[in-house]
Amino acid sequence: MPELVLGQVTGWTPPTDRGLGEARRDYALGDGLVHLTWPSTPGVQALEERGRQVGWTEVYDGLGNWIALVGGHPVADAADSELLLSANPTDALTLLRLALDRGLGDQ
């Protein structure tokens, strides 16, 4: 796994601020994290900790790639600052959790 950094802010609006309706909350992740999904918007998911959104993932492009974001910053490879894209929502969520575990949300 590459060393992770946060890329340049995207300007994308966090899903909790988009008016997507009531999120489904799943408490099965552990570590105090709550997984949020929106039935009407399957291309977006988020993580909450202590009632505060700490990051989200969403479909990045028309090829089905997913991006992980922390505070509006995409997770990137520290070696070349290239965005790290995931092939599916499960991998994107894993990348987001890894970034948070490495303290990227604390910057």
Distances in whole angstroms, Cα of residue 59 to Cα of each of 1, 5, 42, 49, 103? 21, 20, 9, 22, 24
52 lies in which domain range?
Answer: 4-106
Taking all residues of the chain, what is their mean pLDDT, rounded to a whole number?
94
Q: Note the pLDDT of residue 30.
A: 83
Q: Cα(27)–Cα(30) distance, rounded to whole angstroms?
A: 7
pLDDT tier at 96 (50, 70, 90 boundaries)? very high
Q: Note the pLDDT of residue 29.
A: 87
Q: Cα(93)–Cα(23) distance, rounded to whole angstroms?
A: 16
Distances in whole angstroms, Cα of residue 10 to Cα of each of 4, 52, 67? 17, 20, 11
Has residue 107 got a pLDDT over 60?
A: no
Neighbours of 10 (CB within 10 A): 12
Express each pLDDT in 22-45 by its tens digit: 999 999 888 889 999 999 999 999
Q: Cα(17)–Cα(4) distance, rounded to whole angstroms?
A: 26
Split into its structural domains, the chain has a count of 1
3-state SS, residue 100: helix
Q: Note the pLDDT of residue 99.
A: 95
Residue range 69-93: average pLDDT? Answer: 96
Residue range 74-79: average pLDDT? Answer: 96
pLDDT tier at 48 (50, 70, 90 boundaries)? very high
